[in-house]
Structure 1
Amino acid sequence: MPQDTFTIRLLAKELASSLRGGRINRINQPGKEELSLLIYTQKGTLKLTVNANAADCGVYFTTDNPPNPLTAPNFCMLLRKYLQGAEILGVETPGFERILIFRVLCFSDFSTAERELRVEIMGKYSNILLTEKGIILGALKTTTIDENCRRAILPGAPYLPPAPQDKTDPSDLSALRALLSPPLPDDLPRFLFQHVAGLAPCTAEQIVSGYRGGDLAQYVHDTIFSDEISPCVVEKNGVPTDFFARYVPGGISFESISAAEQYFYAGRRAKKGFDELQRKLSSAVSSAKKKQEKRLSQVLEKRRQCEGMEEDRIKGELLTANLYRLKQGMRSCELENYYDEAGGTVKIALDERLSPADNAQAYFRRYRKQKRTLEVLGPQETEVRSELEYSLSLLAAIASADRMDDLKCLEEELQLAGLLKQPERRKKQAVPEYPFRRFEKDGFEVLAGRNNLQNDRLIRTSSPDDIWLHAQKYHSSHVVIRTGGRAVPDEVLLFAAGICARYSDARQGGRIPVDYCPIRQVKKPPKARAGFVIYHEYKTILTEPDTDAKEL
């Protein structure tokens, strides 16, 4: 993305035209390295985002309302102290640097002062600083006092601009001509990027692609300092990959650089947030699944240890029946096994310290202990298998999610299930209720749940004649066709089955079986986990996942 001086200079003109004379009404810091300024202008209220994150650094207008922390960070409080109600005098760039300077006139009860909010857009070195008369009042990122520190960024320290690059200033036409005198290198875009200040590689390529002969230095100079803009954003697979101040083939056009930046960063942020939340949910459920599998293995191991329970009972019975033949001090005995149809014998180990009767009782006690253990293990095994099945259904739903709303619904379910910590909410802050996935086919409404809680709600809110679908022997979303009392054509059934397969474990495979039946045949057992139901008198249809269906 060309956050170079070429683009920032054009952005400064755009911001100055929109913000000059405006007043800063509200200052928030929704992110660690992001500011949000609400500005009243003659053209209306504008919200300006100022981001100093290494991956998302930029300044642009936005309509988003990100949540703010309950307690404002220190830098945000500092800006509120000095800039609240300030009038914006102008926006400019110093020389040919990647710095935006917002000159503001600040008012207090007894005086006025002119201050500067400096936004240094320099990748991982990006920063936001507030200065007055060349002295730093505060900064988003500060440095320590060190002998090796090139720039001291501390409150009270004089502001020093970043060290200039050892490149040719494009505003110096004579220096530019000396640099671009023949012979020219074969890779001219790379040469411009490496030797001319303020150009990104893609900007250099754009400049060279438009050159049609003549004075190259004059052409480069005029192109860089031209105020002509035609902003656009380039996408790949629906995700923004770059934005430009001037149009490139295949780009999506915008009216302003700020609008292009907003679209670009919103798309990137949405993709990044989606991936991060998906990893977070998968990690939480996988951790729970690992614990459940460990617990199940422990239950199965205890069950295995109880496999000899009946043998202990038989040995106790045989010892009791042959007490007259046994004596204390014997280490073992071999007795006829009258429980064996073949009439064989069994060798029984004895404790020589115990009497024959006590040895028999020891076998009975071991038998009763194993019997009680099995009685306890039965419900435990059922419970842990149910929890494990629930975790697998959550993993399937997380993997098949394709929208942020899907993950938000799953996050809410995980919080209610205790797999994630409940967030702190402000008073009277309502929990959002997300709608079902909604599709339409030939006049029939097709709904799909986003998580297990929605699956249950979908069944509760459906009519008895509506058609319910679920992938056979796979975890999947519950899908319902709202019939309205009409007969459902085969095309609609096949479409709904494709939606069901799309949001299932088998979405990457081929044809899979999908069961369907009227809602009246679907029942939820008492105390069953969310999303778990039983159904009767169903039919099955074979279909492939429908990835082309558009959600409404």
Structure 2
Amino acid sequence: MSFDGMFTHAMVNELNQNLTGGRIAKIQQPFANELILTIRSNRKNQQLLLSAHPSYARVQITKQPFENPAKPATFVMSLRKYITSAIVQGFHQLNNDRIVMIELSAKNELGDIHEYTLIIEIMSRHSNIFLINKETGKIIDLIKRVSPENNSFRGLLPNDDYKLPPKQDKMNPFEASQKEFDGLESAGDIRQKFEGIGIDTSDELFARLDEAHNIILSYDSPTPNAAHLIKNGKLGFFPIPFSKTTKDSKNYSSLSELLDNYYLDRARVDRIEQQTKSITHRLSIILKKDKSKVKKLNKQLKQTEIMDKYNLYGELLTTYMSKIQRGSKSIKLTNYYNNEEVEIKLNPEYSPSDNAQSYYKKYRKLQNSIPHIKEQLEITNNEINYLESVLASLEYVDIEDVDGIIEELIESGYIKKKRKNGRKKRKKTVGEKFVTTNGIEMVVGKNNIENDKLTMKLAQKNHYWLHVKDIPGSHVILKDSDPDEESIVEAAKIAAYYSKARDSDKVPVDYVQVRNIRKPNGAKPGFVIFEGQKTILVDPDRDLVAKLKE
């Protein structure tokens, strides 16, 4: 289901239970559309995520790690000025709409208490986050500023009066009795009559119309789960069990944990795309040129197939020189290798000898071009494989690993090094560590330079190396000379997860001892060749990744 008004209702209850009375300890804006408030509540710090993303707008408690950008955005600077150390008085929802209001009280420099409201409007591409001065009703700042010419209904700039979005003339389902549902003839009628009900929710309510009121009341004590919908097979998130889901339902302890899991890959890929948009665009252009070049080179290579015919024509013309009349446009001669007649075109302006030499020249030109074409094909194909591996790695690495990929591209000469911004570099650790169920350590490379270091420098010769077969992915080193079968399967599942085949089933994974791996001279980072490998079929396993992570 979507983050509709019903889900918002349940989430507001969860936030009130966990964060009301807490103090804002830290304010971050790690991405353009997302805000993180670290709130000290119940003797622990909890991260409140407010997202105005056009596709993933939501509000939740999150346990995902975030890093501050080098330069704070204007909006986060405004928030830090007014609501750092503010007390969270409570959360409430506007009727059953997707508008959440967070009431705050904070002291200014003189110790005077001021009231503020932090409002998140969850409205797809129009989603926004506002800080409102409760005393004046004016907008102090907002995460997405919109000029008047692009929004005639209300002001969306600092110092404008805050005005609610256009009101829908619909009933709040939490204030309705069962009678209000009786007689409705379709799920569309439910959406038309009641506020904040999404398509999946209305389908569920209509399927169980005689108990619709009780279903709505159950949103006050949710049992969050993720499952695939029967009608389209897509994975959805639900605050209560829905009848039209498959049996693969997975329950979570809270709505926030449910959303963290559901959005884990979706939000991660989107955030990485935001950070690397210009880089991926550049690499995609190079990749497109390389693929076009390979087509041309293969075409040139195919043209060399005719060179043996040119050599034969030269031989025949030389052998039967006396039969050729000057000024002829062609001549038919017997091929003495198979006794078949061959018609050879001639240049009437050339002598018989010049015509023969012309064919020999064409033959030598094509013959001499083959090594160059093959060399260029190898170089270009290697670059294609490398670029595809880099682009693929951006699909499965974590957000904190992007810097390593950017450094790799700088070292490889694909992008220019930016000027230092004064940020302290974190101490580099090569790869991510895991421990198998049976206690064997393994390490996963997160970019091609790490893959090289792990495999060619850090791994011992008797350790085992794993990699998805013929698909871009991370190198995995299993630090054991004789690993048990269960550990090999677990390492293979990790290798499949950290690859472009993450969303596939029955992924082939090669494994072999490091002693059987070598890196060709001049090969791109991450490229190795090996022999004597065995192959195992496994399914990528996200839960296993979380379980085995050191």
* Alignment correspondent of 2:425: 429
Deviation at 1:18, TM superposition (A): 2.0
**Residue 272, structure 1, aligned to residue 266, structure 2:** yes
Paired letter, 1:129: F
* Alignment correspondent of 1:134: 137
Q: 1:142 and 1:57 mapped to 2: Cα distance?
A: 17
Paired letter, 1:429: K
Provide the secondary structure at the position in 1 that maps to 2:436.
strand
**Residue 90, structure 1, aligned to residue 89, structure 2:** yes
TM-score by length of 1: 0.67
Paired letter, 1:460: K
Deviation at 1:95, TM superposition (A): 7.2
Deviation at 1:272, TM superposition (A): 0.6
For 1:83-124, what per-residue CA distance to the aligned partner results, in whole angstroms no more than 9, with x for missing partners?
A: 155644734648747441424345257x95735334043433
Determine which of 538, 542, 547 is the counterpart of 1:545: 538
* Alignment correspondent of 1:102: 103
For 1:262-309, what per-residue CA distance to the aligned partner results, in whole angstroms no more than 9, with x for missing partners?
A: 323322331213555699899988876654443223223223333444
Contact 2:307–2:367 at 8 Å: present in 1 too? yes
Q: 1:375 and 1:58 mapped to 2: Cα distance?
A: 58
Contact 1:117–1:128 at 8 Å: present in 2 too? no
Paired letter, 1:90: Q
- Identity rate, percent: 22
* Alignment correspondent of 1:166: 169
Q: 1:137 and 1:491 mapped to 2: Cα distance?
A: 58
**Residue 378, structure 1, aligned to residue 374, structure 2:** yes
**Residue 460, structure 1, aligned to residue 473, structure 2:** no
Provide the secondary structure at the position in 2 that maps to 1:460.
helix
Contact 2:252–2:258 at 8 Å: present in 1 too? no
**Residue 121, structure 1, aligned to residue 121, structure 2:** yes
5+ residue gaps in structure 2? 229-233, 244-248
**Residue 295, structure 1, aligned to residue 289, structure 2:** no
Provide the secondary structure at the position in 2 that maps to 1:119.
strand
Determine which of 215, 225, 233 is the counterpart of 1:234: 225
Contact 1:104–1:116 at 8 Å: present in 2 too? yes
Deviation at 1:330, TM superposition (A): 1.9
Q: 2:347 and 2:384 mapped to 1: Cα distance?
A: 43
Provide the secondary structure at the position in 1 that maps to 2:76.
helix
Paired letter, 2:20: S
For 1:301-334, what per-residue CA distance to the aligned partner results, in whole angstroms no more than 9, with x for missing partners?
A: 223333444555666677778889988x624475
Task: Decide whether aligned partners of structure 1 residues 29 and 525 sit closer, same or farther in structure 2, where only a CA change above 3 A counts.
Answer: closer
Q: 1:547 and 1:40 mapped to 2: Cα distance?
A: 37
5+ residue gaps in structure 1? 255-259
* Alignment correspondent of 2:32: 32
Pick which of 293-302 and 270-279 moved more.
270-279
Q: 1:60 and 1:513 mapped to 2: Cα distance?
A: 37
* Alignment correspondent of 1:257: none
Contact 1:437–1:449 at 8 Å: present in 2 too? no
Contact 2:468–2:507 at 8 Å: present in 1 too? no
Contact 1:52–1:58 at 8 Å: present in 2 too? yes
Q: 1:505 and 1:38 mapped to 2: Cα distance?
A: 34
Task: Decide whether aligned partners of structure 1 residues 323 and 6 sit closer, same or farther in structure 2, where only a CA change above 3 A counts.
Answer: closer
Aligned pairs for 1:276-425 within 5 A: 276=270, 291-309=289-307, 312=310, 330-332=327-329, 334=331, 347=344, 349-352=346-349, 362-363=358-359, 365-388=361-384, 390=386, 404=398, 411=405
What is the number of equivalent residue pairs in this alignment?
Answer: 518
Paired letter, 1:525: P
For 1:49-98, what per-residue CA distance to the aligned partner results, in whole angstroms no more than 9, with x for missing partners?
A: 333335544444445442344444343344445x1556447346487474
Deviation at 1:234, TM superposition (A): 1.4
Deviation at 1:349, TM superposition (A): 0.9
TM-score by length of 2: 0.67
Paired letter, 2:89: G
Task: Decide whether aligned partners of structure 1 residues 248 and 229 sit closer, same or farther in structure 2, where only a CA change above 3 A counts.
Answer: farther
Larger Rg: 1
Deviation at 1:379, TM superposition (A): 1.8
Contact 1:497–1:541 at 8 Å: present in 2 too? no
* Alignment correspondent of 1:520: 515
Provide the secondary structure at the position in 1 that maps to 2:538.
coil
Q: 1:148 and 1:472 mapped to 2: Cα distance?
A: 53
Task: Decide whether aligned partners of structure 1 residues 189 and 202 sit closer, same or farther in structure 2, where only a CA change above 3 A counts.
Answer: same
Task: Decide whether aligned partners of structure 1 residues 204 and 533 sit closer, same or farther in structure 2, where only a CA change above 3 A counts.
Answer: closer
Q: 1:308 and 1:149 mapped to 2: Cα distance?
A: 70
Contact 1:35–1:50 at 8 Å: present in 2 too? yes
Provide the secondary structure at the position in 2 that maps to 1:90.
strand
* Alignment correspondent of 2:231: none
Pick which of 453-462 and 309-318 moved more.
309-318
Contact 2:88–2:105 at 8 Å: present in 1 too? yes
Paired letter, 1:158: D
Provide the secondary structure at the position in 1 that maps to 2:267.
helix
Q: 1:391 and 1:424 mapped to 2: Cα distance?
A: 24
Q: 1:321 and 1:188 mapped to 2: Cα distance?
A: 90
- RMSD between aligned residues: 5.8
For 1:154-187, what per-residue CA distance to the aligned partner results, in whole angstroms no more than 9, with x for missing partners?
A: 4444333344443457898xxx68x948x94478
Pick which of 442-451 and 58-67 moved more.
442-451
